[in-house]
Structure 1
Amino acid sequence: MSFKTPHSTVRKRKIQRQSLLDTKKHKRHKKTVITPEIEGIFKGMLYKTWICHSCSPLYNFRTDESSLRHYSQHLSAYLTSEIQKQDCFLSSEFSGGLTAQFSVVQGFAIQQDEPDAIKLHISYDEKKNPIEVYFLSVDVNPLEFSNPTAENIRTIRLLKSGFYSLPIMIYNGYIQKPCSAVISWFEDNFDCVIRPVKFNPIDLSWMMSMWTSFKYIPSSKRKSFLTEFIWKIPVDNIGLDTIKFQIAPSSTTEIWESMKNSENDEMTVEYVEKFMSAITSHLKGMSGIKFDSLILEEISTPFIRVQSSGKIKIGSAAHILTVLAHLCCLSSERIYSAVES
């Protein structure tokens, strides 16, 4: 198995050892200023299941107050109409209609010329949690994901002038039907393409390798996630679908540190291969299972859980930007790869 990142020729990635919240230690991250309000937004995103989608640039999207108010009214009417038209059961669930509200959220954009995030808040029942949607760009430089030809540079400059580029969309809500309606509305109104993000075993291996050594102190109110691997058995009707292993975070950190021969903060393909080989060898010695024949389906580190289906759950506000920056990187690679092909 090749551990080269999908849809690109990237063979190394920078490991953000310091939190991206600490702008003093990241001089190129000039835009992020963490206020108590922004910190509250980050904390409000914790321990929720977010479903990831990639999003191509939004054409002619405006962020002024008048435009956002118009979008809110238009989308509210569209969602109510679509739910009533498509599903009788859900129309009773949303009998009071759905109210969408757009807002611009600062604190996620890292680079100086990066657009601010867009938050979509959809409420339908005072007694139930609202549906939340974020469109985000975190530390994205389009030139990193395309061949630096003159034509591509001109294309990227043109995109910046007429498009609002937010490569990742994350959705939280216990009913998925409104999500498909939101996607249809955006695609129809802003000439974009929104697709589910799936994490293959290579993606999951990179995430585990990059983040397993991060220092993390759990909240006093919540326990940290265990370091966990879940493999899918690619054989049907044997009475067992998956195999789960939990490892003490200190053990995976020791394995990772034992392989590092320098203080270089770059994670390379070679380190990913060596780390995952060491993990599976360790588990094989305990269980006798040959993991090369299985499909890695889910990982957990002390501060994040990631599923191959595109679902993530973050447990540390200090690492939110680090996680989202990597997800934006993956999404951007796929978007620009599709454009060039």
Structure 2
Amino acid sequence: MEPPHNSVVRTPLNSVIVQRRSKSKSYRQSYRSCLGAASRLGLTPALTARRLNTSRRAPKSHNISEKVNPEHLALLLKTEWKLSYVSPLYKFRHTQLKSYSRQLSAFIAAEKQQGLAVEVEGLQSGFRVTLSVVQGLTETDDDAETVLIQIHANPLFARQDEPQRSVWSGWLTCINGNTDYLHSLPKDFTCLPLCGCSGSEYLSGLVKSWFQQTFDCCFGPLEINHTSLQWLVALWTNCHMESSLQHLKMSWTLPVVPPLQVTYTVNPQDAWELWCSVRAGRQEEDEEEEEGGSIDIKEVMRLMQGLKGHFFRHFRLDLSAGSLRQVTTALGSAKCNGRIKISNSRYMITTLTLLTECALLKMPI
């Protein structure tokens, strides 16, 4: 077991210092509405015009189980998460998580007292909130530490000695965030652009509302588009030799009336052999690179074209006319509506890196 990281309370400070013009309510409202946000944060149009990377490092195994708290890791792996993007948090400090836990608990209690909060899944009042750092889940010095949020409550008609039950979980993270963007932020802003929630939609709304009011940020839904799903097909297939895919299952929607839903399951060895043929010209080049090589979008497209061509030869149905909606392997599953489940800790960093990039690109600032 590696010793705990010293970054337990690390909130990265950036080199660019820009004074906040106003702390008034009107400023916060205009910031959250994303009107003129780029100029207020000192960003340039070039930073908001980026596109999804056309090349990225080939996945490599990360034994994060030696660094991440086992309870935290078990929660991250066993749960399907609904994704959102989050704009930078103003004056958020990792050293204040205990205080934030009390404030969020009080916020939920206040909503309850005002009659705005309803009973959640048969659980009564007495919510307890904990915010904690997930150590060992960062890749660079520019990444802020991942924050885990958990809400516990008493079961209805619970015995006096019965422990509280977890009713909601969520996290905020930044894995391999774009350095140009992170360095462009004023020093009082912390970037944790990727959010995952699991539990009651109503509690998700309360937690997001508290974050928005407290840290002057905004949340928005993060879908996983057609291109990003294809990237996951390639990245996960590339991991097959070290961690078997067991299966490669894809769901497609074809634009006919009514829409045609197609489920396409590929033998993992067949997918691997196709991927090897696509990568054949890069093997020697990759062996010379210290980081294990890279994958570019052309290779992703060739892999997908090979899979679609195989399907067409057997069923005379062209998947190119449709849209990829879901990808599932033993390493995880991802849906176009922004739901993700990561089932293998060794490639969690690879998956979260892609999703962090998607979140940064989706933000309106």
TM-score by length of 1: 0.79
Preserved CA contact (<8 Å) 1:227 1:247:
yes
Cα offset, 1:94, TM superposition: 3.5
Cα offset, 1:11, TM superposition: 1.9
Say if 2:74 is the partner of 1:46. no
Alignment partner of 2:356 out of 310, 328, 339 = 328
Shift of the 15–108 alpha-carbon distance from structure 1 to 2, 3 Å rule, reads same
Preserved CA contact (<8 Å) 2:77 2:344:
yes
Say if 2:111 is the partner of 1:82. yes
Alignment partner of 2:195 out of 164, 169, 187 = 169
Equivalent runs, 1:165-204 vs 2, <5 Å: 165-173=191-199, 175-204=200-229
Say if 2:282 is the partner of 1:262. yes
Equivalent runs, 1:207-222 vs 2, <5 Å: 207-214=232-239, 215-217=241-243
Shift of the 92–121 alpha-carbon distance from structure 1 to 2, 3 Å rule, reads closer
CA RMSD of aligned residues (A): 2.5
Alignment partner of 2:312 out of 267, 276, 284 = 284
Equivalent runs, 1:29-108 vs 2, <5 Å: 35=66, 38-64=69-95, 67-82=96-111, 85-86=115-116, 88=118, 90=119, 93-108=122-137
Cα offset, 1:47, TM superposition: 2.9
Cα offset, 1:280, TM superposition: 0.5
Shift of the 333–92 alpha-carbon distance from structure 1 to 2, 3 Å rule, reads closer
Preserved CA contact (<8 Å) 2:150 2:166:
no
Shift of the 303–216 alpha-carbon distance from structure 1 to 2, 3 Å rule, reads farther
1:113-157 alpha-carbon deviations (Å, 9 max, x no partner): 4321111111123574432111111122331x59xxxxxx6x33x
Say if 2:159 is the partner of 1:139. no
Structure 1 distance, partners of 2:153, 2:201, is: 14
Rg comparison, structure with higher value: 2
Letter in 2 for 1:19: S
Structure 2 distance, partners of 1:91, 1:139, is: 36
Structure 1 distance, partners of 2:86, 2:309, is: 38
Structure 1 distance, partners of 2:194, 2:94, is: 17
**Residue aligned with 2:275, SS:** helix
Cα offset, 1:268, TM superposition: 1.3
**Residue aligned with 1:323, SS:** helix
**Residue aligned with 1:51, SS:** strand
Give 1:304's aligned residue. Answer: 332
Q: What number of residue pairs does the alignment pair up?
A: 298
Cα offset, 1:310, TM superposition: 0.6
Preserved CA contact (<8 Å) 1:225 1:304:
no
Alignment partner of 1:123 out of 136, 144, 152 = 152
Cα offset, 1:35, TM superposition: 3.8
TM-score by length of 2: 0.74
Structure 2 distance, partners of 1:204, 1:274, is: 14
Structure 1 distance, partners of 2:93, 2:70, is: 25
Shift of the 41–9 alpha-carbon distance from structure 1 to 2, 3 Å rule, reads closer
Give 2:43's aligned residue. Answer: none
Shift of the 235–46 alpha-carbon distance from structure 1 to 2, 3 Å rule, reads same
Structure 2 distance, partners of 1:176, 1:61, is: 24
Gaps of 5+ in 1: 1-5, 23-33, 147-152, 219-223
Give 1:19's aligned residue. Answer: 61
Cα offset, 1:266, TM superposition: 1.7
Shift of the 139–20 alpha-carbon distance from structure 1 to 2, 3 Å rule, reads farther
Letter in 1 for 2:128: T
1:7-64 alpha-carbon deviations (Å, 9 max, x no partner): 5163211112x21337xxxxxxxxxxx6465355323322310111111111001222
Q: Percent same amino acid among aligned pairs?
A: 21
Cα offset, 1:92, TM superposition: 7.5
Alignment partner of 1:226 out of 210, 224, 247 = 247
1:269-290 alpha-carbon deviations (Å, 9 max, x no partner): 2112111111101111121111
Structure 2 distance, partners of 1:292, 1:94, is: 47
Preserved CA contact (<8 Å) 1:225 1:300:
no
Shift of the 328–97 alpha-carbon distance from structure 1 to 2, 3 Å rule, reads same
Structure 2 distance, partners of 1:137, 1:200, is: 19
Equivalent runs, 1:227-242 vs 2, <5 Å: 227-236=248-257, 238=258, 241-242=260-261
Cα offset, 1:87, TM superposition: 5.7
Bigger drift between 311-320 and 120-129 goes to 120-129
